[in-house]
Amino acid sequence: MHYQQHSREAPMRRVCALNDLEPGEGLRIDDTSPPIAVFLTEEGTVHAIDDTCTHQDASLAAGWVEDCRVECPLHASAFSLLTGEADQPPARRPVRVHRAEVHDGEVWVEVSTAAPNLPPGVTLP
């Protein structure tokens, strides 16, 4: 399948096979800056968000997924896999959401071009 790059959108890129994902768990993708997390929900939907909690440097891929939200493993703020919004402090800012699609058993993601909300002390390389 061919993906076109549109002038205002990032190109779709293959990040993993659908078989690499476990329902209810996240997979960290390190070859983006910042890293992203890809999730397969128990309902079978695939989502991609920035992997770093906006409160402190913690991997959201290591968090708990339930009801299309992922809970940060450090301080229990949960982020919507649909909107990126944080539900409660200590996280206040949302994470970026990336468009994710499955084609022929492969997960493709369009990484958002918006500026990421990184926690204090974390910078992009």
Domains in the chain (CATH in brackets) are: 12-110 (2.102.10.10)
The one-letter amino acid code at 14 reads: R
pLDDT band (50, 70, 90) for residue 3: very low
d(CA 1, CA 77): 38
At 9 the pLDDT is 62
| C-alpha to C-alpha distance for 72 and 64, rounded to whole angstroms | 7
Top-confidence residue, 111 or 1: 111
3-state DSSP helix/strand/coil % of the chain, to nearest 5: 5, 35, 60
Answer for the pair 89, 83: CB distance below 8 angstroms, yes or no: no
* Mean pLDDT score of the chain: 92
The HSE-up count of residue 8 (CA atoms within 13 Å, CB side) is 0
What is the percent of the chain where pLDDT is above 90? 87
Q: Give dist(CA 107, CA 125) in Å, integer.
A: 25
pTM, to two decimals: 0.90
Paired tokens of 19: 């078989």
- Average pLDDT of the segment spanning 89-107: 97
